[in-house]
Amino acid sequence: MSQDTSTVPYDEPPYNDVVAFVLEQWHRMPRFLAWPLRIATLGFATRGLVSGHFFHRLRPERRRLQLESWRTSSIGPCRDLIRFYRSLAILALYSRVDTAR
């Protein structure tokens, strides 16, 4: 069962426009950058298996803790991965067309 995204307000979950923007940017990358990013993303997603679940299945507080631990990690690629996705999400949010005007 798919949800009609045209009826979902852009400022309420599931934020499909932000996800679509991030995926579009990922698909525009040269392959030599996209594959390492994909591998790092898989590493992030499977890190939650220590708790018994993939990242997308964790409770919100566990997700926040994992994001924060990677954001402040002493391992540079972990920090860079989170910074990359946060930057794209922020860019997508601030690039939205204001439909209220």
Asked if residue 11 has pLDDT above 80, the reply is no
Predicted local distance difference test score (pLDDT) of residue 12: 59
Q: What is the pTM of this model?
A: 0.73
Q: Per residue in 87-98, pLDDT tens?
A: 999 998 888 776
Domain boundaries, the chain: 15-94
* Average pLDDT of the residues in 9-21: 71
- Sequence-ordered list of residues with C-beta below 8 angstroms from that of 72, at least 6 positions apart, any chain: 79
Predicted local distance difference test score (pLDDT) of residue 41: 92
Q: Per residue in 33-89, pLDDT tens?
A: 989 999 999 999 998 788 788 988 888 898 899 999 999 999 999 999 999 999 999
> pLDDT-based confidence at 14, cuts 50/70/90?
low
CA dihedral 23, 28, 33, 35 (to 10 degrees): 50
